Every structure is written in structure tokens, then in C-alpha cells.
A and B are shown apart, each in its own frame.
Chain A
């Protein structure tokens, strides 16, 4: 059982890391922007946006996957448009897995960042303004450093969610070894064939190791940042 990972298993691990990392990185800036809009914005439709962002948290993942399939598939309105004008294809590609993971992790990312924005003392931003800082600078040198712990927490949640995402991914992009088969879908595939227990066990162990490492890294980062920001 402990004879090491097979090439297919390695491919699943690499793919999972790549998908999770890309999903997290790509949703970071939109996540910060949406968190700001929801926390500070006063506009018509804010409630609706709030609900929309939180939907993936409450909907069955399969439903989200199906929506993606309909919207971002080759014949879907968005998918067809992106493929035609930008050459970006999501369906049955690893990019599609990343999109599914990003959307499933988005509410977690936004919530964590939004909480930290709510905790920022806006009087500090006013003070920075009276010292001559343009609002864009105030954001960069006061607000952003102060919400950094929340951003890190959100990134870890988004990454962890992406590592574990299964339902939306398998519905949207299926489970093609080497292209869209992430660790969870590979484990599921192993459990469906006789004699697959060894592979399932090995990938499960890898999954645990990655999760613990990510947690530990985020704790370490958060502690460093907190010390810088609040000490």
C-alpha cells in the first residue's frame, strides 16, 4: 500500500494543487472588490449581490456545476462568447475545474475579507486623509495592511475549499485523468473499481498532509502579519 504514488496519482496531486492555487489567486482581487462593495457600498441591489455571492455556499454543488455547464459550456452563452473572442475554453479543461473551485470558494473568501473590513477603524482612514493621502493611497497604505490577516484567512479557506471541491467540478468538467481529475475525483474513481482501495488510501493521506500544511502555513503567516499590524 505504501509503495508510493503511481504516475496517475501524481498527476491528480499536481493538478489539484494547480487548480486550487489558480482558483485562489484568480478570485483574490474580485473577492476584495466585492467584499468592499458589500461592506461599504450603498447601492441599489446590494442585497441581491450579497445573496448571489453566497449562493454557492447553500446550493448543492451539483447544481452549481450544472449552472456552469449550461452557462460556460461550449454552447453556453458565456462559454461560446469567451471561446470565440478570447480563445478561453472551460468545458472539460483544467481551467473549468479552477473556475468551479473558484466559485465554490468565493463566498468563504468574501466573508473572511468582509469581516476584516468591518473591523477597520474608519477614523484611521479619515486621519490619513487629513494628512494629505488621496483615497487610493489611504486604501493602499492604511486599509490594505490592516485587513491583511482577513485576506490571508480568506485565501486559505478558498484554497482548502478548492482542494476538496468535488460535486461542481465533476458535474462541469467530468473526471478526465491528467486533465480534470483532481484528488477528490480520483479518490472517488478508485472507490468505484475493485482493488482501488490502495490508491484511495494513498491519495487520502496526501490530501491530509496538504491540508495540514496549508493550515500550518496560514497560521504562521497570520501570526507574522498580526504582529506587524497590531503589535
Chain B
């Protein structure tokens, strides 16, 4: 088990009571602000001392209030990337990167400076001062600095929250490479469903200091009611697909998933690239018959595996399309009129422009 957390903590009027386990390469802590994400991350990193509980990282007990164990932060070997970067202003980029290395026993120095610098694309910044870097560059240096201390776990507390969309898009690929290549498990705090859909392998959903769901990303993201606070429209299925071709004439890219082929607006990725694609529940229409004369390009045949409990007017219908889980959000009225029930064969219809480009990430092997 990479991470095993069970803590109780009170801070003024806010009470946190969270327990979860994760074995994922990238565990996302998701929840609205005030849900306790940052408190959990700070408790793992040693910046907050929880009132009660236990925190175990990679089999090492860092906190156990019953046994009076509280490892101080400088001996935890938990790297942290903060929202504001927190680079040391009096050191240049090279010395910022090497800071943690001074305090790492030489037998445990595994991360190669050149490799990390290369991985994050910061070799041209080494002699610069932090104040001369852009927001995205600062965050990449902060990630490198944490990695070069050879942490057993990397905490990222909304590392992209202060960046605009363009800068975020610049950093996502680096986090994907980190997840797939560095061998250091990551805990990412985020309040963006799209970000999680793109990056996470496991998701822990928090609300008002409690864990409301945790598990593999594809599993958790299928259920819209976990994401009620961020708007009921955010949930969706996460499926893996390969780029099978580009249609230059129509500016489209064709993806092949187990569920079938999907046409999406032209993507830059070369043929053969594995992508994770998020299909938002609200973007999917269900039809009993194979549709004809429709402008939507994507039709995935499948059958209903289950129907979630209704909330208000709408309900989530879970589908199995050739082995890929897909979820559609339809009205209760449609469920009744169409006679939708588990086992029924249906067609899921998706407009090609409905794909969430922000959530379209390069999938590492076995990261789904």
C-alpha cells in the first residue's frame, strides 16, 4: 500500500475525519475548497499535526498518535510542490534544485540531476533567479526540487491553480511523464474534474471533511453525484482509446476504443498514441435503435449495466459498450418512457465536439 491515511483533526469550526487507502501511481484528492484536501496533504507532509490518527506511507509509519509517533517533517522524505512554488529567492534555479540533495544521505540519492532537469525541460533555466521565471517555469522547478530530494511520495497541492489554461497545458505533459516514468507515487490535490480525469489513476473525493468516495479513477469518475459541488455536469466515463487516423479534409481525428470508433476534432497526437478520453455524462444521448439521419458522428452500441439512484429530474445510466464503461445522464422521464432497465441494448450517441479537450491526456500503460 502506497498510502494509508486515517486521521481526525479539528481546526476552529472545521472538523476533518478522513480515512482512505491508495495504491495508485497518482492519487487525486478532489473536493471543493474547505473540504479538507490541503489539511490532509499538510498532515502527510508534516506541516500539520493531526489530533488523532495514523499515516503510513510506503509501509513507513509517519504518524500514529496512539503510539506517540510523529516523524518531524525533515525526516519524512515526503516531497511537496506547493501552490505558490515557494522557490528560495536567494538561490538560483540550480541551487534550488540541489537544495534537498544536501540533506539526503548519499546512499539514498537515486534521482539523477540531469534526468530530472531533462524530464522537466528546465536545463536552460539553471543559472536564472526564481524571480525571473514565469509561473509555469517556477512550478516545473518546484517539482524538480521536490523530486531531487528523492522523496518516497510526492505531494502536489494544487500546483497549477495559480496558472492560466495555457500554462496548465504546458505542465500537464510533465506530470504525466512523472507519473509514468519517475517511479515516485504522487498525491495531487485538485478541484478540477478535468484535471483529475486527465491525470489521476486513483481518486479520493472529499466533502466537508469526510471521504465520500475513493477508488480507481475510472470507477469514481463515473458517478455524477460525487461531483455535485462542481456542478452535476462534471462526471463522466474515462476510457482508453488509440489514435487510429487523421482526417485532414474534415479536420477530425479518429480514435479507436473498445466501445467503437470515435471522431473528435483534430488532435496533435501521432497515430498509435494511447489517450484517455473523458465522455461527460451530460453529453451522451441514449437511443433504443441505431440512429439514422443524425448529425452526431459517434454512436456506440452497448447495453445498460445499471441505473443509479435518481436525483431530482435526472438519473445516471451506466452502460457497458464493448467492455468500456460509459455513463449517460438522462431524465427520469426518459427512463420511464423508453423503459430503460439493466440488460437492455441501447446506443450511446455523442457529438464529436463534446469531447473535453482539457481532460484528454496521454495515457501511460496500465494507468486507467
Are the C-beta atoms of B73 and A130 separated by less than 8 Å?
yes
Is the beta-carbon distance between B82 and A123 smaller than 8 angstroms? yes
- 12 A-B pairs with C-beta separation under 8 A: A123-B82, A124-B86, A124-B88, A124-B89, A127-B82, A129-B73, A130-B146, A131-B103, A131-B146, A146-B89, A146-B90, A230-B131
- CA A110 to CA B271, docked complex, whole Å: 67
As a 0/1 sequence over residues 119 to 160 of chain A, the CB contacts with chain B under 8 angstroms (1 = contact) are 001011011111111110100011001100000000000000
Main secondary structure of the interface of A (DSSP, over half): helix
Complex Cα gap A121–B149 (Å): 22
Chain A residues lying within 8 Å of B77, measured Cβ to Cβ, are 132
How many A-B pairs have beta carbons closer than 8 Å: the answer is 69
The residue among B80, B82, B90, B104 with the most chain A CB atoms within 10 A of its own CB is B90
CB distance from B71 to the nearest CB of A (A): 12
A121 CA / B88 CA spacing, docked (Å): 10
Residues of B within 8 Å of A142, CB to CB, are 88
- What range describes how many residues of B lie at the interface? 20 to 34
A42 at the interface (CB under 8 A from B): no
Residue of A whose beta carbon sits closest to that of B148: A131
Q: Are B74 and A133 in contact (CB under 8 A)?
A: yes
Decide yes or no whether A85 CB sits under 8 A from chain B.
Answer: no
B: residues with CB less than 8 A from A are 45-47, 72-80, 82, 84, 86, 88-90, 99-100, 102-104, 129, 131, 145-146, 149
Given contacts A230-B131, A231-B129, A231-B131, contact A132 B100 (CB under 8 A): yes
Q: Report the nearest B residue to A144, measured CB to CB.
A: B90
Contact assessment for B103 and A137 in the assembled complex, using a CB-CB cutoff below 8 Å? yes
Write out the residue numbers on chain B whose beta carbons fall within 8 Å of the beta carbon of A146: 89-90
Let me know if A133 and B103 touch, CB within 8 A: yes
Q: Which residues of chain A come closer than 8 Å to B46, judged between CB atoms?
A: 129-130
| A225 closest partner in B (C-beta) | B90
Interchain CB contact under 8 A, A128 and B99: yes
- What distance in Å separates the Cβ of A136 from its nearest Cβ neighbour in chain B? 10
**Per a CB cutoff under 8 Å, which of B76, B88, B131 touches A128?**
B88
Q: Find B100's partner among A131, A228, A229 (CB 8 Å cutoff).
A: A131
Known A123-B84, A230-B131: A129·B74 in contact at CB below 8 Å: yes
Chain A hits for B75, CB < 8 A: 132
Residue numbers in B under 8 Å from A123 (CB-CB)? 82, 84, 86
Nearest neighbor of B142 in chain A, beta-carbon distance: A127
Report A70 CB to chain B, min CB distance, Å.
45
Are A132 and B149 in contact, with the CB atoms below 8 A?
Answer: yes
